[in-house]
Structure 1
Amino acid sequence: MNELLYIGIDGGGTSCRARLRDGQGHLLGEGVGGSANIRLDPELVWNSILTACREALSGAGLVEDDLKRTRVGLGMAGAGQKSAVDRLLSRPHPFTAIAIDTDAHAAWLGAFGGGDGAIVIVGTGSCGYGVIHGQRVQVSGWGFEISDEGSGAAMGREALRRALWVHDGLAPPSPLSTEILAAFGNSPQAMIDWVGQARPSDYAQYAPIVLKHAANRDPLGIALVEHASIGIARIAGRLLDLGAPTLCLFGGLAEPLRPWLPPPLQHTIVPPLSDALDGAILLVRQAEPRK
Structure 2
Amino acid sequence: MRWLGVDGGGTKTTFSVFDEHMNQVATNNLPTCHIGQVGEEGMRDVLRSGIDWAVRDGCLGEAWGIGFGLAGYGNEHHSRASIESVCESVSNGHPYVLMSDLKAGCVAALGLEDGVVIVAGTGSAALGMRGGRELRCGGWGFQIGDEGSGWWMGRRLLEAFSRESDGRRPQAAVHRLVREHLSLENDYDLIALRRTTLAGRTEVAALAPLVFEAAADGDKEARRILNDAAVSDAEMAATIVSELFSDDPEVRTSYIGGTFRGGNGAILDLLRAGLLPQTCKLVPPAYGPDAGACLVLRDSIGRGGNDACHRPYERYEP
The bucket for the TM-score relative to the shorter chain is 0.7 to 0.9
For structure 1, list consecutive stretches of 5 or more residues without a partner in the other structure.
Answer: none
Matched residue, 1:100: 98
CA distance in 2, matches of 1:174, 1:53: 48
For residue 128 of structure 2, give the secondary structure of its aligned residue in structure 1: strand
Asked whether 1:79 is paired with 2:103, we answer no
Q: C-alpha displacement at 1:51, in angstroms?
A: 4.9
Amino acid of the structure 1 residue aligned with 2:258: G
- Is it true that 1:276 corresponds to 2:289 in the alignment? yes
Offset, 1:37: 3.9
Q: Flag the structure with more relative contact order, 1 or 2, with Cα contacts below 8 A and sequence separation at least 6.
A: 2
Kept in 1, the 8 Å contact 2:127–2:240? The answer is yes
1:198 deviates by: 2.8
Q: Which moved more, 1:240-249 or 1:34-43?
A: 34-43
Taking structure 2 as the reference length, what is the TM-score of the superposition?
Answer: 0.76
Residue of structure 2 in register with 1:20 after alignment: 17
Partner residue in 2 for 1:248: 254
Cα RMSD of the aligned pairs, angstroms, is 3.0
> Where in structure 2 are the equivalents of 1:1-291 lying within 5 Å?
5-21=2-18, 27-42=24-39, 43-60=41-58, 71-82=65-76, 83-91=78-86, 93-95=89-91, 96=93, 97-181=95-179, 183=182, 185=184, 186=187, 187-194=189-196, 198-244=199-245, 245-255=251-261, 256=265, 257-264=267-274, 265=276, 268-285=281-298, 286=300, 288-290=306-308
SS of 1:179's equivalent in the other structure is helix
SS in structure 1 of the partner of residue 240 of structure 2 = helix
Deviations 1:59-94 (A, max 9, x none): 43579xx8xx75322112232243333333444853
Deviates most, 17-26 or 256-265: 17-26
CA shift for structure 1 position 155: 0.5
Fraction of identical pairs, as percent: 25
**Contact 1:29/1:58, CA 8 A, preserved across alignment:** no
Whether the 8 Å CA contact 1:159–1:210 is kept in 2: the answer is yes
Tell me, what secondary structure is at the counterpart of 2:233? helix
Number of matched pairs: 283
Q: Greater shift after overlay, 7-16 or 108-117?
A: 108-117
Asked if the contact 1:20–1:57 (Cα under 8 Å) also holds between the matched residues in 2, the reply is: no
How many angstroms apart in 1 are the aligned matches of 2:196 and 2:183? 9
Closer, same or farther in 2 for the Cα pair 1:203/1:23, shift >3 Å? same
